[in-house]
Structure 1
């Protein structure tokens, strides 16, 4: 066989951003991994084919579906061969060729066919056929059992793994995200959406959110749920039986004899102490010493839901066998938690994430949200309106609904959405409903529909309560043409609003005419919905001026200041794609901040005003088109940065709390302002004393008043300042130490030798830090490591501990994490310490896997509970 690059050649000219990516390809592939994010519309499959031709080795391409597998084959023949005559390819994984296109399901089935030694025999099978390159297309689709065989393949020496995705699974659990990146490797490069818009491959677009409140029945459910938890917590604090059991445990009475156990379960141990303290018990001094504190050196946090979860998760689930003697007390607690809904699937969760999320995400109030969006879109765009609504379920039980009493439609789904819109918008003849098992159109569309299907008759019957609409029974022979025909009706305007399931109208379905997408999907990963979002922002050859509007729905929890789980899921969804800011400063970034939504939510939040503004903004097509092009001109690359907000920006953030490095500055400012107001007032009040007693006595009096009035605040300011230093400067120093380590000749995986640190100060005290003149891969490595250093301490192998003379007198220590990848061995940790001591401070390195180290680690973890604001350091992607 000839060289692969001689047999397969791309027949056209590469787009600018594609060529830019290919120019850096050889650098990225050096380590045997290539992980690329390529949004819909960027030619991901074409780039994947070019990559495998350049590697030039026998290749196995794995796709999530047969449709996408077949697209790989057709693209190869269409774009890389002159006469569609490439012979060295196969679609059968059991009979591979030089290039084999298959699916993850087929690989798993092949593994299962080898019986007991499936994974070992799979590795031998791949080796025996000489496959040396593995291409993973949209690996976020992988089901749990599929991961294992791929991990085994990765063990093959010399195997190159190429991962292509439009949407990494950022909304998944931490375990799933870590698993995804351990398989695919860190992101090497990303084709930027701004480049695609600039090049005319995607249309300008904007995301909007329509908010709703729960129905009265849902509010009662939520309030009742919260009240039950509150009562449970009160009863837990009053549970003398549990308290008496805990205070008699060996690890509590004689902690020195149970150091191994305590250091293995530091959070559980801390939760017991905090619980007993809340119950009014004086905490055993020995226990405080184990934590590294004296009795007058610790201020206990409240026994919050998080601490309650930590306590009960261990007692009821994780360490149940250890506490068998507690069964008479634990059984009633377990039954009560299960009754409330706090204990599900072996997880204690007082926030009620899943219980309330299921309740709110499926809220029928979203039906009204959808109707208002459709109504506004039709009024604005008229005949040009092309709206797609995606839902998770069909809900056939509502097919018989008729009338105007929409309260009966109490679940979110394809049929309820269809029925609700018709009930509110009587006489609408432009609706269509399409799922894998159901087709509904207006009778006026039947003639054109039959023409497209090339049939003279169709079996139809009227849809009850939906005047003029018919349910179509499609013969099995025509099922493959249904989506194609409905799509044509949609493009022609016979259907203006198409309602369907995420599963059926997800990947593989394409309609460039879509200009409005409403995501009413909430089950599972949002990735497939995000794929659909990609189709809504594709250019339309028949409409060069197309703009895309994407609507997201959120039902707010009125009892949660952060809006609740539905809002949290929405924020996660926004982390996965970049867009242009909606108001004020023009910029391109990921995350929901660019929509400028309220920081806090309450019953007094004016949702109607927010929604009205969103609807009005959605009509300003030329405005967000202009904002895109202005923002694109301000930059040329997507930069990964770490944003560190001020305390006021994120008062209700729940995770990854960052130490308040600048706390001292704010408290000291309060002292200075207080003194400046105090001095004139003191002189005015004591003018008689100055005249009568003399200046010296008045100065003594003044100093005494000053010390009594402002001494405690001054001490607090000094203590906080020395504990954490100035946030902006300290973070920049830490960044310099990290970059110096990465640029060391011994650090082989960092290639950007000209990289420099850049820190930008924003309004309200927020600032961001990122690398200039660095590759996407290296920027990602830097930001990930920096985030780990300053995040709350979990369980690192090494800590950096700083303790100078003044800090010892103030009983203050500073602790920072040596990141996992750097702390994998002592040699690397010491190298990092060298640069830390050069740029930050003189810190000692502490190994935490020894008894002494566990003690230091426990104190470090406990210390950050006392001095912190609710600020969150988070990764961001910004066009600069």
Structure 2
């Protein structure tokens, strides 16, 4: 160990979860990686310093911003050195010392400065750098990853990666790069542990809905009408129908088999479109897709998604093959551009981007923010510490007056400032803090001057309201403008602070925040989680703090599920763990925990918002619910939840949810059979006397088949297709677990691991791995989700089939998880355990002609399955 690092020692007792975390230090670093997930407020930086201290090697610490870089040095001096006088550190990557603090940008610039990259590698070898710490590792972009990976491949390092949220919503290739550099996740500190230890505040997420204004509603409705009209006209367009009938896939499918099997969804979209036009599709064409000519094929409905697939291929993917029809394709392209559904070589009939932009930046959200600030101010009074984060400044609205405020048509920092200033009671305690625009009220000049002399700044009165001034720094000062306004916010002089997520969303430390409004719509769930982390930090000055985190959504009135904005929120909520809004609360992730109805319409908005505002007032209840929920568990566990959805009547859904699909039909059949039996016997006494016993027996069997034949047939079919769902899913889980064992993926002794599958109160089936570590749990849930989800494009399929099943069309198709499907030998191990736990099956390689046929049939099986299966991963405190 380096002598300078040996003098470092943590001054305070470790928190219990930190101590538990450090107990496994030696096993974690045995592979030269230490990858940690820990939420904001958990002491990631402190743990990082302890790890580099224990490794005792010359260290390079990399952070995404200068602010976070400086925090590392500050924490090292404050928590690990007696007199705050550790000297052997550097902020200059070109002059490294025993501990060098730098940024990813600086390393990348340093890398580019070398013409001969060998000199770059030699530099770190010469300076003996043996540990690299990657703080907020989710920030690693392609360029940053490249210079780090090059260094890692040439030099031997301990890699310590720290993050609050791994970039799980990145592309598969980016995620692979991330884990190649950082290593698999070694340990995770859970939010409930931090709340339990009083290191994070109790908190709750709230969603406030808004209704688009009339102009926006008209725009959406007109857009939907135009698309519907285009779809209807297309179905009557003889020229387009002839064009598809002359398409090489449809006209000569056997000649174009390779192309068809490469893009079966394209061929399917042609058949589905022609079928919707009343064109009879020949059985020979369906045989190519894996169906025999005797099967009664039910075509999927021609929806906008199928139309997108068709036109995306015609106008982009397959265009070079349709060169002789270029003039006609140009005509189609012009129609689609006129409808605003074709842009940047992307066809989008659903309007995801166009309508999302319209709703995401809807000025209706400005009124939502006013409602929230007013309600929070009424509830908290002088204790309010509210931050509003958004994406853009919108400088064009700087001088908008109150009389013209209704002309504001976009959400942003300055539009929010104008609305809060004019419609809320906050004037003197309102401020704006961004990288280029800073606004304060003149009334706080004295408080400002106590931190920094006023002569170091220019104060320019706003044209629209001279009680507010724009602040610009003119001389070097001890404190930056960010530090000054942060202190004013922390001491309560500023109560409502409006800023950009780029400046305040990450690394900014203001523990007093007790109300955070996220008016940001750009970025991944990683940045959302970072922003949210600002409000859940513990405030030493206010130990009873409860953080309210507000999310905004503008409802699309033309759909039943709330629209694209709600969809985005649902995706982001997968990264958030919190208490549920249920009668008996528990800790989980996901949007469902807020207990909103599945269908959200414009007429529901006022009622839902009133309910939300009422819940937000009950801060003591939120704290109590956290404590109650924490007491019921000991760790966060990932589990797979299997749901049954689809356009089935309520009664049919209820049968699936509450009785289990097979048990319901068996019980129903037995009861009616018993009733029939007694009824027939009573009536049959006279028949025996008059016609004889043999006639009675024949009559009994004939009546039985007539009365129960269909029900018995249906029960058998459903059993063959589904069985008892929770038992079947447990067996699939066991097949995955034992495949893990054979492929040496498990670190935990398999004797200590159990697969648990059960029905919960809604009738959904949940499955989890008990006794495994976080990494094993994550791999298990990912693999099980892949098996249960509708088939996409796996390399291998497991088909549960037999002559009997084929005859009754009850074959089951399951994708082999990607983790096993990358090599044939691994897929065969999975097949072995599938056979052991679930019976006979067939393994099919889908990259060959026959395999592609079965792959398509597997996809279509999910399209019109009697009960469409949908699964999702859920994290629960258990």
Q: For residues 178 and 243 of structure 1, do their structure 2 counterparts lie closer, same or farther at Cα, with a shift above 3 Å needed?
A: farther
Question: Which residue of 196, 199, 212 corresponds with 1:198?
Answer: 196
Deviations 1:428-477 (A, max 9, x none): 43322222222322222122222322236864344344473333344253
Matched-pair contact (CA < 8 Å) for 2:862–2:868: no
Q: For residues 450 and 4 of structure 1, do their structure 2 counterparts lie closer, same or farther at Cα, with a shift above 3 Å needed?
A: closer
Alignment of 1:171-570 (within 5 A): 171-172=169-170, 177=175, 180-181=178-179, 183-297=181-295, 298-403=297-402, 406-425=405-424, 428-455=427-454, 459-466=458-465, 468-478=467-477, 480-570=479-569
Please state whether the residue corresponding to 1:821 is helix, strand or coil: helix
Matched-pair contact (CA < 8 Å) for 2:456–2:476: no
Cα offset, 1:867, TM superposition: 0.8
Matched-pair contact (CA < 8 Å) for 1:660–1:869: no
Cα offset, 1:714, TM superposition: 5.0
Please state whether the residue corresponding to 1:864 is helix, strand or coil: helix
- State whether structure 2 residue 184 is matched by structure 1 residue 168: no
Between the aligned partners of 1:133 and 1:237, the Cα distance in structure 2 is 64
Q: For residues 660 and 112 of structure 1, do their structure 2 counterparts lie closer, same or farther at Cα, with a shift above 3 Å needed?
A: farther
- State whether structure 2 residue 662 is matched by structure 1 residue 665: yes
Between the aligned partners of 1:706 and 1:308, the Cα distance in structure 2 is 48
Between the aligned partners of 1:68 and 1:92, the Cα distance in structure 2 is 15
Matched-pair contact (CA < 8 Å) for 1:646–1:764: no
Cα offset, 1:665, TM superposition: 2.9
Cα offset, 1:347, TM superposition: 2.0
Q: TM-score, normalised by structure 2?
A: 0.91
Q: For residues 701 and 551 of structure 1, do their structure 2 counterparts lie closer, same or farther at Cα, with a shift above 3 Å needed?
A: farther
Between the aligned partners of 1:300 and 1:650, the Cα distance in structure 2 is 17
Deviations 1:778-835 (A, max 9, x none): 1111111111122222222222122123202213322212111212222222112111
Aligned to 2:103: 103
Aligned to 1:656: none
Between the aligned partners of 1:572 and 1:859, the Cα distance in structure 2 is 29
Please state whether the residue corresponding to 1:432 is helix, strand or coil: strand
Between the aligned partners of 1:677 and 1:338, the Cα distance in structure 2 is 65
Question: Which residue of 807, 824, 843 corresponds with 2:841?
Answer: 843
Aligned to 2:21: 21
Deviations 1:119-169 (A, max 9, x none): x76556555655444332213223443333344345447544332111233
Matched-pair contact (CA < 8 Å) for 2:525–2:575: no
Q: For residues 473 and 157 of structure 1, do their structure 2 counterparts lie closer, same or farther at Cα, with a shift above 3 Å needed?
A: closer
- RMSD value, Cα: 3.5
Q: Which moved more, 1:629-638 or 1:689-698?
A: 689-698
Q: Which moved more, 1:286-295 or 1:365-374?
A: 286-295
Aligned to 1:64: 64
Between the aligned partners of 2:354 and 2:537, the Cα distance in structure 1 is 37
- The unaligned stretches of length 5 or more in structure 2 are 651-655
Deviations 1:602-635 (A, max 9, x none): 344x211111111111111111100000111111
Deviations 1:690-726 (A, max 9, x none): 9999899999889778766775565444334312333
Aligned to 2:653: none
Between the aligned partners of 1:467 and 1:347, the Cα distance in structure 2 is 48
Cα offset, 1:12, TM superposition: 2.9
Please state whether the residue corresponding to 2:36 is helix, strand or coil: strand
Cα offset, 1:582, TM superposition: 2.4
Between the aligned partners of 2:616 and 2:351, the Cα distance in structure 1 is 34
Between the aligned partners of 1:559 and 1:667, the Cα distance in structure 2 is 37
Q: For residues 840 and 98 of structure 1, do their structure 2 counterparts lie closer, same or farther at Cα, with a shift above 3 Å needed?
A: farther
Alignment of 1:758-797 (within 5 A): 758-797=756-795
Please state whether the residue corresponding to 2:439 is helix, strand or coil: strand
- The unaligned stretches of length 5 or more in structure 1 are 653-658
- State whether structure 2 residue 744 is matched by structure 1 residue 747: yes
Cα offset, 1:223, TM superposition: 0.7
Between the aligned partners of 1:699 and 1:405, the Cα distance in structure 2 is 90
Question: Which residue of 862, 865, 870 corresponds with 1:864?
Answer: 862
Between the aligned partners of 1:276 and 1:283, the Cα distance in structure 2 is 8
Between the aligned partners of 1:9 and 1:502, the Cα distance in structure 2 is 35
Deviations 1:410-432 (A, max 9, x none): 21112211211232236743322
Q: TM-score, normalised by structure 1?
A: 0.91
Question: Which residue of 815, 818, 821 corresponds with 1:820?
Answer: 818
Q: Which moved more, 1:212-221 or 1:838-847?
A: 838-847
Deviations 1:645-665 (A, max 9, x none): 23389999xxxxxx9999853
Between the aligned partners of 1:502 and 1:529, the Cα distance in structure 2 is 9
Matched-pair contact (CA < 8 Å) for 1:848–1:857: yes
Matched-pair contact (CA < 8 Å) for 1:391–1:414: yes
Deviations 1:274-330 (A, max 9, x none): 222222222232321121102342211111222112222222122321222232222
Matched-pair contact (CA < 8 Å) for 1:210–1:554: yes
Matched-pair contact (CA < 8 Å) for 2:515–2:549: yes
Aligned to 2:37: 37
Cα offset, 1:34, TM superposition: 3.1
Matched-pair contact (CA < 8 Å) for 1:247–1:253: yes
Between the aligned partners of 1:171 and 1:829, the Cα distance in structure 2 is 26
Q: For residues 123 and 362 of structure 1, do their structure 2 counterparts lie closer, same or farther at Cα, with a shift above 3 Å needed?
A: same
Please state whether the residue corresponding to 1:289 is helix, strand or coil: helix
Cα offset, 1:567, TM superposition: 0.8
Question: Which residue of 823, 827, 830 corresponds with 1:829?
Answer: 827
Please state whether the residue corresponding to 2:480 is helix, strand or coil: helix
